[in-house]
Amino acid sequence: MTIFICTREDRLVRMRQDGGSWPAETVLEGAGVQCVAVDGSRVLVGTRGAGVMASVDGGANWERSRLPEPDVFSVAIGSADGALFAGSEPSHLFIARDGGPWRELEALQNIPSRESWSFPPRPWTHHVRWIAPDPHRSERLLVGIELGGLMLSDDGGASFSDHRAGAKRDTHSLAWHPRVPEWAYQAAGDGAAWSRDGGRTWEAADAGRELRYCWALAVDPNDPERWYVSAASGPGAAHSGQSAKGRLYRWNGAWEALPLPTDSMPYALAATDAQLIVGTADGRLLVSEDGGEGWEDLGVAVGSILAMAVGGIRHSVLAT
**Residue 157 domain-assigned (yes or no):** yes
How many domains is the chain partitioned into structurally? Answer: 1
Domain with 237, as residue range(s), is: 2-311
Q: Is residue 216 part of a domain?
A: yes
What type of residue is 243?
S
CATH code, 57? 2.130.10.10
Instruction: For residue 314, name the pLDDT band (cuts at 50, 70, 90).
Output: low
pLDDT band at 9 (very low <50, low <70, confident <90, very high): very high
Q: What is the per-residue pLDDT across 151-167, written as a single tens digit (0 to 9) for each?
A: 999 999 999 999 999 99
Tell me the pLDDT tens digit for each residue of 215-248.
Answer: 999 999 999 999 999 999 999 999 998 999 999 9
Residue 254 lies in a domain: yes
Is residue 49 assigned to a domain? yes
Contact 174, 142 (CB under 8 A): yes
Confidence of residue 21 (pLDDT cuts 50, 70, 90): confident
320 in a structural domain? no
User: Would you say 4 and 312 are in contact if contact means Cβ atoms under 8 Å apart?
Assistant: no
**Statement: residue 49 has pLDDT above 50:** yes
Domain for residue 194, yes or no?
A: yes
Q: Is residue 316 part of a domain?
A: no
Average pLDDT, the chain: 93
Instruction: Give the pLDDT confidence score for residue 175 in this predicted structure.
Output: 98
Q: Produce one character per residue of 237-257: b if its CB has 16 or more CB atoms within 10 Å, e if not.
A: bbbeeeebbbbbbbbeeebee
Residue-wise pLDDT tens digits, 156-199: 999 999 999 999 999 999 999 999 999 999 999 999 999 999 99
The reply to whether 318 falls in a domain is no
Judged against a pLDDT cut of 80, whether residue 214 lies above it is answered with yes
